[in-house]
Structure 1
Amino acid sequence: MRTGLKRLSPWIIGMLTLVLLAGCGGRDKDSFSIFIMDKGDASVIREELAQKLKDKLGEQAPTIEISVSPLYNQQKLVVEYAAGEHDLFLLPEEDMKLYGQNGSNLPLDDAFDKKTYARGVFEGGVFKKKGQEEEETDVSKETHLFGIPVEQMKMFKELKYNSKTLFATVPPRTSNKEEAIKVLKALTE
C-alpha cells in the first residue's frame, strides 16, 4: 500500500499544481490594468483615480484595476513588463526610454500630437515583421511619441498629483490598444 501511495504522490502533486495554476490564468477580459511606479507614493490617488476614470469613460468602461508599487524598484518594473498583465504603465522617464529602446512601448503618434507631448518623443524600438508571411519580428529604431508626461494630464492635475518625471506608456502586450488609447485620452482631456 505504501509503495502504491509513493507512486501516486508525484501525480497528485502534479494535478494539484495544475489546478492551482489554472486558477491564476490571467485577468478578466472586461478589465483594464494600470501599473504605476513612481519615486513618490502614488497609492494615495489609486482609488480616486480609478473612480474618476470610471466616471469619465461611462457605463461602457471596463473595470479599472490600478496597481501601485509603494517603492521604486527597477527589478519589479522588469517583472511587471515581462508578465504582460498591464495595459498601461506610468513610470519614470529614464525607465520609459530605457525599455523603449527594445520595443517595450507602442508608438502613440496616431492618437496624440507629437508637438504637444514633445518630451515623450524619442528614438525607440518598434517591432516590424521580417516578411509579409513570416511571424518573426525585428526591432527597428524609429522616432515616435512613446509616452505622455503625467504633468500634462488633466486628471492628474485635478488630483493634485504632480510628477515631473512620470510618463504613461502602452506596452506591446496590452490586451486592447484601442482601449488603452481611450483611457489615455480620458487621463489627458
Structure 2
Amino acid sequence: MKRFWGLTAIISMIFLLAGCGGKDGFTIFFIDNQGNPSVISEQLQANLQQKLGEEPKVEVITSAMYDVQKIMVEYAAGGHDIFILPEADMKQYGSNGSNIPLDDTFDPEKYKRGVFEGGVLVEKGEGDDGSDIKTESHLYGIPLEDMQMFKDVDYAAQNLFATIPVSASNVEESKKVLKALTE
C-alpha cells in the first residue's frame, strides 16, 4: 500500500513538472465522507469570490459521494489548488509528500490538529531512504471547524481539513485563498 501512495505522489509530481494545466482561475476540490458538500458549494464559492474580489476567479468543485479512488484521481491529475478532504486522507497523501507545509503562513500552535509528520520534497536522493522525500513534522492542513467561512455556511465538519497540494498552480495564491477561508 505504501508503494501505491508513493507512486501516486510521483504521478502528481510528473503532472506538475510537465506543466499540464493551462487552466483559468483557481479551483478547490471538496469531498466529504460524512456529508454532501455540494449543498453549500455555490454559497461558499460566492462568499469566497466576494471576499477575494475579481481575481482569482474561484471555482469550488465538489463530489457528492465519497470515493477514495476519486481523491487519488484528483491528486494525480494535479488540477486543483486546494483540497478539502477527510483528515485520514489528508494525512495519507501528506505522508508521501503530496501536500505543501503551511508553517510560514499559519500558526501551527493554533491549528495543532493539522500538524503531523509528512513528506517534503528535497533534492534528488537526499530523502530519508535515498529518495526525493524527507519526513518532517509541519502544519499541512487547516481544520474546517476553525475556518470562519465554513462556519458562516454551516458546514464546519470536524473531520475535514483544507490542504494545498504540491501540484497547486500558484502556492502563494493558494495560501492567500486559504487565509481568506479562515478569516
C-alpha change, 1:43 and 1:27, in structure 2 (3 Å) is farther
Separation in structure 2 between the aligned mates of residue 28 and residue 188 of structure 1, nearest angstrom: 25
**Alpha-carbon contact 2:146-2:156 (below 8 Å) kept:** no
Provide the secondary structure at the position in 2 that maps to 1:34.
strand
Gapped runs of 5+ residues in structure 2?
A: 1-19
Correspondence for 1:112: 106
**Alpha-carbon contact 2:125-2:132 (below 8 Å) kept:** no
Deviations 1:159-182 (A, max 9, x none): 111211000000001000011001
Larger Rg: 1
Matches within 5 A, 1:35-54: 35-39=29-33, 40-54=35-49
| The one of 145, 160, 163 aligned to 1:169 | 163
Report the CA distance between 1:131 and its aligned residue. Answer: 7.6
The 4+ residue runs of structure 1 with deviation greater than 4 A are none
Separation in structure 2 between the aligned mates of residue 27 and residue 37 of structure 1, nearest angstrom: 24
Report the CA distance between 1:27 and its aligned residue. Answer: 4.8
Provide the secondary structure at the position in 2 that maps to 1:163.
coil
Separation in structure 1 between the aligned mates of residue 89 and residue 111 of structure 2, nearest angstrom: 17
**Alpha-carbon contact 1:27-1:85 (below 8 Å) kept:** no
Provide the secondary structure at the position in 1 that maps to 2:136.
strand
Deviations 1:18-76 (A, max 9, x none): xxxxxxx74534x00100010210001111111111111123x2111111011110011
Separation in structure 1 between the aligned mates of residue 63 and residue 50 of structure 2, nearest angstrom: 24
**Alpha-carbon contact 2:119-2:133 (below 8 Å) kept:** yes
Report the CA distance between 1:88 and its aligned residue. Answer: 0.3
Matches within 5 A, 1:48-63: 48-59=43-54, 61-63=55-57
Matches within 5 A, 1:114-129: 114-129=108-123
**Alpha-carbon contact 1:33-1:88 (below 8 Å) kept:** yes
Provide the secondary structure at the position in 1 that maps to 2:45.
helix
TM-score (norm 2): 0.83
Deviations 1:63-94 (A, max 9, x none): 11111011110011000000000000000000
Aligned-pair identity (%): 57
**Alpha-carbon contact 1:88-1:174 (below 8 Å) kept:** yes
Structure number with higher relative contact order (C-alpha < 8 Å, ≥ 6 residues apart)? 2
Gapped runs of 5+ residues in structure 1?
A: 1-24
Establish whether residue 145 from structure 1 lines up as the match of residue 139 from structure 2.
yes
C-alpha change, 1:139 and 1:32, in structure 2 (3 Å) is same
AA paired with 1:152? D
Correspondence for 1:10: none
Separation in structure 2 between the aligned mates of residue 90 and residue 79 of structure 1, nearest angstrom: 15
TM-score (norm 1): 0.81
Matches within 5 A, 1:150-161: 150-161=144-155
- Count the aligned residue pairs: 160
Separation in structure 1 between the aligned mates of residue 109 and residue 90 of structure 2, nearest angstrom: 18
